[in-house]
C-alpha cells in the first residue's frame, strides 16, 4: 500500500475536529481511530527487551501484571555482544510476539548515552559510545520492523538521568549534543527509519523536548530525513499547541478532550495554522494504516524465543578476569555455589521495561542439571540490607571444603531502577563481605555478577575469576552454566567503562544537577573519551573482555577507496586451543588538532569466529564522519587536515596494530579559533575534571537563566515544589493515600521507592494522566499554590 497517497486521500474526507482527535491517545496504550474512514484504534506498548502488554489495569511504571513473554537480556548486556546480526534476530523475535499479541508498535529501543554510571536506567541503554549505541539500535529496529511492526526510538533527547527527569533542563553545548547525545539517534534513524521517535520529558537548553522545533523538525526531519511520527513520553506534554508547532504528532496517553480542544481553539484564534495540524494528522494516518495492516501469523513461540534468549545471553556476557585459567571449571570439581542470586537471579530492570517472563531459569538448577557436583549456601538475603554473619560463616565453611567457590552477587532491584538514580557504585556490603570471606579460604574463587551498570570491586585482586552477566534475561541461568563449564566460550566486550571510583567520572561534579537544571560541563569527554584523554586508570576499560582462547592481530592494510573513504583490513589468528570469537575495534586518533578532541573514538568494529589455529580477515569501512567533528560555526560536520592514526585493538586500552592516513581538510576549524583559544579547561582537561563557569558559558553559547525555585508556581512545578503550601500539603496527603492503596498488594520495595520518588518529582500537569483533572482544575490547583484562593476555588468547582 502507498501509505502517503492513501493518507492524503483520507485527509480530504476529514473534518478539522477529526484531524485534531488523532493527535492524542484514546487511553493509556491505544490510539484513536475513525471508524467511518476505516482507521482502527491500534495499540502501542512497552518494550524494549520483551513485550510488556497489560491486559488489565494500565500503568507506565511496571506495577500491574502483563502477559507472559520472553524476557531477553537488557541493552546493557546485549551491547556487549557487539553483534548487530544477533540484535537483528532478537528484534525479529520481539516483532513476532507483537504480531501474535496484535501490538502495532513496541516502545524501544533506548539509545540514550550513559553519561554517568549512576543513572538508574542505564540497564535499558546500550553504551557510553554513540557509534556502538547507534549500530546496535539500528539492528534491533530493523529486526522488529521486518515483521511489519513499529518501533519507538527513545528517549529523544539528552535524557541521561532519572532525577527530576520530567522537568530538568539539560544544558549542553552544541558539539556535545551532536557528537555524543544525538549521534546514536541519528545512526538509528538514517539506517533503520523507526516508525516512531519518542520525545523525552526533559528540557534541552531551555525548551521541553516535546516542544523543541530545532530537535524535532530541523534536525530529526529536515537533516536526518525521518518520516515517521514523534510521540511524547507518557505524560511529557507541557503545551500541546507548542508541541504541534514543533512537530510532535502524538500525545500519550490521552488527556480527555483537553488537548484536542486546545489545538482547535488555537486554530480559531490564529495561533496555530490548519497546515500545521495537517502535517501531524497526515503522519498519524500513515502510521495507523501501517499499524492496522494484517500481518502473517508468526511460527515461532515462546519456547523458540527462549532458546534465542539463551544464545543472546551467552554472547553478551563478559569475562572480566580469569587468573590461572580458573575458568572453565572442571566438571568433576567439587563446587561451592554461594549467594541467593544463584537461585533467585536478577535478570531484568525495574520500571516500564519489566517483563513477565514466560520461563525463568537460574544458575543453580542449570549447573545441577549439567551434572556438576555442587553444594549451595545462601550467603546473604536479598530481602535484607544487613550483613548476616552466620550466613557468611556458613559460606566460608562450605568454600573451605570445595575445589572451587562460585559467588553470585550484584545489584538487587532496589539499587538501580527507573525513577531514581544510584548514589554510589558500591554493591551491598553483604555481597562484598561475602566475597572477601570466601576468597580468604578458597584460592579458586569466582564471582558471577548480575547487575545493570558498573560497580567498584574492592575484592577484585582477591578472586581469580569474574564473569559479568549483566541482566541476562530469563535464560541467564543456563547461559551462565554454559559459560562457566566452557560449553560456550565468552566473547563479550564492555560497552561501558568500569571506573576505579565514582569520583573519576567526568560528570561526577555536575550530575545530576538540581531539580531545575543540570549542566553538561564535561562536553564531549564522556566515558573512555575522557579516561583515555586524561590517562586515568580504570578498573576495566571500554571494549575489554577475555576469552578462553587468545588472538593475534596482524597485516593491517589501509585502502583509500575515495577521498575520506577507507577500507581497513586486518588478519586475526586464534592462537589458543579453543574455538572462539574476537571483537576487533577500530579507533581513530587525530595526531594534531586545533580544536579539543578526545584521545580516540570508536569508528568501527567487526566480530569474527575462529577455530583454534585458524586465521581470518576482518574488513571495516571508514567514511568522512569517521574523521569529522561538528563545527558549530559552519553548522556542519567538518574535517581537519592532517595525519590520523587508525588503531585496531581488543579494547580502548589494548591497541594491537595501527597505521596512519593523511587527510586534506576543509580548513573550517579556523571559524572556531576565537572561541576555542580561551577554552583551556577543554583543550587540556584535568583529572578530576573541573570546568570554570566562564568557559562553560562560552562553549554553551548562552548564559543560562538562574534556576527559579518557589513562587510563582506553574503547571510545571512538582508536588515536591509545592509540598509546603496549604494545597500542597493536602495534595501530598491525598497522593500518599492513593499510593498506599495502589501499592497495598505490591510486595516490592523497589516499586514502592520508584513510585514514591516519581510522585514527588512529577509536574502537576501530569496529574491529568490519572483522570479527573482537566486544564481548568489544574489552573485552579496552581492558583491555590500561589495563594490565589478565590481564583483557585472558582476553577476547581
Q: Could you give the residue numbers annotated as active site?
A: 233
Could you list the beta-strand ranges (E) of 313-471: 318-322, 334-338, 356-357, 373-377, 404-410, 445-450, 465-468
Q: What are φ and ψ of residue 627, in 5° steps?
A: -115, -5
The 10 Å Cβ neighbour count of residue 745 is 7
For residue 369, give the H/E element and its range. Answer: helix 363-369
For residue 567, give the H/E element and its range. Answer: strand 565-574
The 10 Å Cβ neighbour count of residue 323 is 13
Length of the chain: 797
What is the DSSP code (8-state) at residue 505? Answer: S
Residue 472: partners with Cβ closer than 8 Å, 6 or more residues away:
73, 77, 313, 316, 317, 345, 347, 450, 479, 480
Of residues 401, 361, 402, 397, the one with CA closest to residue 379: 397
Taking a C-beta distance cutoff of 8 angstroms, is the pair 462, 433 a contact?
no
Please tell me the distance from the alpha carbon of residue 376 to that of residue 710, in angstroms, as a whole number: 55
Please tell me the distance from the alpha carbon of residue 525 to that of residue 548, in angstroms, as a whole number: 33
Burial class of residue 660, CB neighbours in 10 A (0-12, 13-18, 19+): exposed
CA dihedral 460, 463, 468, 469 (to 10 degrees): -140
Beta bridge pairs of residue 468: 318, 449
Taking a C-beta distance cutoff of 8 angstroms, is the pair 327, 486 a contact?
yes
Q: Which three cell numbers stand for residue 235?
A: 505524560
Helix (H, G, I), strand (E, B) or coil at 343: coil
Residue 709: partners with Cβ closer than 8 Å, 6 or more residues away:
515, 516, 721
Q: Which three cell numbers stand for residue 783?
A: 492558583
The 10 Å Cβ neighbour count of residue 402 is 21
Please tell me the distance from the alpha carbon of residue 509 to that of residue 682, in angstroms, as a whole number: 15
Amino acid at each position: 500500500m502507498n501509505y502517503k497517497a492513501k493518507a492524503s486521500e483520507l485527509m480530504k474526507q476529514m473534518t478539522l475536529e477529526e484531524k485534531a482527535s488523532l493527535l492524542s491517545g484514546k487511553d493509556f496504550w491505544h490510539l484513536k481511530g475513525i471508524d467511518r474512514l476505516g482507521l482502527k484504534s491500534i495499540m502501542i506498548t512497552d518494550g524494549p527487551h520483551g513485550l510488556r502488554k497489560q491486559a488489565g489495569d494500565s500503568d507506565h511504571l511496571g506495577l500491574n501484571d502483563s502477559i507472559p513473554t520472553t524476557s531477553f537480556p537488557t541493552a546493557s548486556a546485549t551491547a556487549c555482544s557487539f553483534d548487530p546480526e544477533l540484535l537483528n534476530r532478537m528484534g525479529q523475535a520481539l516483532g513476532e510476539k507483537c504480531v501474535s499479541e496484535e501490538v502495532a508498535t513496541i516502545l524501544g529501543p533506548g539509545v540514550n548515552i550513559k553519561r554517568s554510571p549512576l543513572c538508574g536506567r542505564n540497564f535499558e541503554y546500550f553504551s557510553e559510545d554513540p557509534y556502538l549505541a547507534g549500530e546496535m539500535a539500528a539492528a534491533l529496529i530493523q529486526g522488529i520492523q521486518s515483521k511489519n511492526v513499529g518501533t519507538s526510538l527513545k528517549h529523544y533527547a539528552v535524557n541521561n538521568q532519572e532525577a527530576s527527569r520530567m522537568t530538568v533542563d539539560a544544558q549542553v553545548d552544541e558539539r556535545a549534543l551532536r557528537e555524543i547525545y544525538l549521534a546514536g539517534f541519528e545512526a538509528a534513524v538514517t539506517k533503520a527509519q523507526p516508525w516512531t521517535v519518542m520525545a523525552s520529558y526533559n528540557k534541552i537548553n531551555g525548551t521541553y523536548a516535546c516542544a523543541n522545533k530545532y530537535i524535532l523538525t530541523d534536525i530529526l526531519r529536515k537533516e536526518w530525513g525521518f518520516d515517521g511520527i514523534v510521540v511524547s513520553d507518557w505524560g511529557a506534554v507541557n503545551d500541546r499547541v507548542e508541541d504541534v508547532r514543533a512537530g510532535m504528532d502524538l500525545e500519550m496517553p490521552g488527556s480527555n478532550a483537553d488537548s484536542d480542544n486546545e489545538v482547535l481553539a488555537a486554530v480559531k484564534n490564529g495561533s496555530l495554522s490548519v497546515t500545521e495540524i495537517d502535517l501531524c494528522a497526515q503522519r498519524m494516518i500513515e502510521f495507523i494504516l501501517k499499524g492496522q495492516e494484517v500481518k502473517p501469523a508468526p511460527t515461532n513461540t515462546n519456547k523458540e524465543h527462549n532458546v534465542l534468549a539463551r544464545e543472546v545471553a551467552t554472547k553478551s556476557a563478559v569475562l572480566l578476569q580469569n587468573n590461572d585459567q580458573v575458568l572453565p571449571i572442571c566438571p568433576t570439581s567439587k563446587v561451592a555455589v554461594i549467594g541467593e542470586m544463584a537461585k533467585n537471579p536478577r535478570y531484568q530492570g525495574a520500571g516500564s521495561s519489566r517483563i513477565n517472563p514466560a520461563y525463568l531459569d537460574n544458575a543453580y538448577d542449570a549447573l545441577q542439571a549439567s551434572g556438576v557436583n555442587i553444594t549451595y549456601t545462601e550467603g546473604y538475603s536479598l530481602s535484607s540490607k544487613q550483613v548476616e554473619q552466620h550466613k557468611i560463616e556458613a559460606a566460608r565453611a562450605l568454600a573451605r571444603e570445595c575445589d572451587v567457590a562460585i559467588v553470585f552477587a550484584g545489584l538487587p532491584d532496589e539499587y538501580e531502577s527507573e525513577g531514581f538514580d544510584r548514589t554510589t557504585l558500591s554493591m551491598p556490603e553483604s555481597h562484598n563481605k561475602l566475597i572477601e570471606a570466601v576468597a580468604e579460604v578458597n584460592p579458586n574463587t569466582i564471582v558471577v555478577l548480575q547487575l545493570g551498570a558498573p560497580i567498584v570491586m574492592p575484592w577484585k585482586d582477591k578472586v581469580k575469576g569474574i564473569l559479568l552477566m549483566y541482566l541476562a534475561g530469563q535464560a541467564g541461568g543456563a547461559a551462565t552454566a554454559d559459560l562457566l563449564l566452557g560449553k560456550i566460550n565468552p566473547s563479550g566486550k564492555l560497552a561501558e567503562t568500569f571506573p576505579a571510583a565514582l569520583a573519576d567520572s567526568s560528570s561526577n561534579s555536575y550530575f545530576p544537577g538540581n531539580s531545575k537544571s543540570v549542566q553538561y560541563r564535561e562536553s564531549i569527554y564522556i566515558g573512555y573519551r575522557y579516561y583515555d584523554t586524561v590517562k586515568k586508570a580504570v578498573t576495566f576499560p571500554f571494549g575489554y573482555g577475555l576469552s578462553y582462547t587468545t588472538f593475534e592481530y596482524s597485516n593491517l592494510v589501509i585502502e583509500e577507496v575515495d577521498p575520506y573513504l577507507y577500507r581497513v583490513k586486518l588478519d586475526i589468528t586464534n592462537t589458543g586451543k579453543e574455538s572462539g570469537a574476537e571483537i576487533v575495534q577500530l579507533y581513530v586518533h587525530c595526531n594534531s588538532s586545533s580544536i579539543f578532541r578526545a584521545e580516540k573514538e570508536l569508528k568501527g568494529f567487526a566480530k569474527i569466529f575462529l577455530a583454534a589455529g585458524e586465521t581470518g580477515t576482518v574488513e571495516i569501512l571508514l567514511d568522512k564522519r569517521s574523521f569529522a567533528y561538528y563545527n558549530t560555526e559552519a553548522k556542519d560536520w567538518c574535517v581537519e587536515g592532517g595525519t590520523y592514526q587508525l588503531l585496531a585493538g581488543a579494547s580502548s586500552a589494548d591497541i594491537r596494530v595501527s597505521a596512519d592516513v593523511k587527510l586534506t581538510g576543509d580548513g573550517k576549524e579556523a571559524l572556531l579559533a576565537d572561541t576555542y583559544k580561551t577554552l583551556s579547561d577543554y583543550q587540556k582537561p584535568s583529572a578530576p575534571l573541573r570546568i570554570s563557569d566562564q568557559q562553560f558559558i562560552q562553549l554553551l553559547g548562552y548564559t543560562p537563566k538562574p534556576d527559579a525555585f518557589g513562587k510563582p508556581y506553574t503547571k510545571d512545578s512538582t508536588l515536591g515544589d509545592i509540598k509546603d503550601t496549604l494545597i500542597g500539603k493536602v495534595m501530598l496527603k491525598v497522593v500518599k493515600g492513593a499510593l498506599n492503596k495502589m501499592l497495598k498488594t505490591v510486595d516490592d520495595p523497589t516499586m514502592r521507592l520508584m513510585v514514591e520518588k516519581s510522585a514527588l518529582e512529577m509536574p502537576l500537569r501530569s496529574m491529568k494522566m490519572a483522570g479527573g483533572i482537566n486544564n481548568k482544575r489544574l489552573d485552579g490547583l496552581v492558583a491555590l499554590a500561589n495563594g490565589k484562593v478565590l481564583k483557585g476555588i472558582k476553577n476547581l468547582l
